[in-house]
Amino acid sequence: MAAYSAQERRRAVALALEEADGPVSAAVLAERFSVSRQIIVGDVALLRAGGADITATPRGYLLGRGSPGVVRRVACVHSPEDMGRELNAIVDAGGEVVDVIVEHPVYGQLTGLLGVRSRYDVREFLNRVEAHGARPLSDLTGGIHLHTIRCPDEKTFQQVEGSLQNENILLKM
């Protein structure tokens, strides 16, 4: 591959993200452009500073595309062991789990981007949690957390809510 100037490489990284069908990891981009992962992380930071809508997910970077559909938040509560059950209930009903949000007493709102759209994504996410010995953000709040959910339409969102209610995961008022 031909050597790029830093500016050319950043344009090429943005184009690669624009053309991608899903998340692209920094490691994949680093290999593609024959630079270190840290260089790509810096490139993405500079692209963001320049106004690019790039989101970092557990599986890689996504360029914002203004996804159509309905975006809503749900309040949930469950034990860490029920995380997979919760995520599967959402994706099985047709929703995408965009993020998880908790309210921390010191740091305020903490948000973790998820981008979970399928049972495959749920498995991959849970495997990463286990491989890193990570605990869910909801551990900080006794299991209480919010999820931003994206659905193709309002009817699908209502199915997601119903599924979470059936699983006894929706936080009751």
Q: What is the pLDDT of residue 53?
A: 82
User: pLDDT tens digits, the chain, 173 residues: what are they?
Assistant: 457 788 899 989 998 998 888 889 999 999 999 999 999 999 998 888 877 888 887 788 888 755 568 889 999 999 999 999 999 999 999 999 988 999 988 889 998 888 899 999 999 999 999 999 999 999 899 999 999 999 999 999 999 999 999 999 998 86
Residue that the structure tokens 């949930």 belong to: 76
Global pTM value: 0.69
CA 142/CA 76 separation, integer angstroms = 11
- pLDDT at residue 124, rounded to an integer: 94
Structural domains of the chain, ranges and CATH numbers in brackets = 6-63 (1.10.10.10), 70-166 (3.30.1340.20)
| pLDDT of the residue at 74 | 95
How much is the pLDDT for 72?
93
Tokens 């049972």 belong to residue = 119
pLDDT score of 120? 94
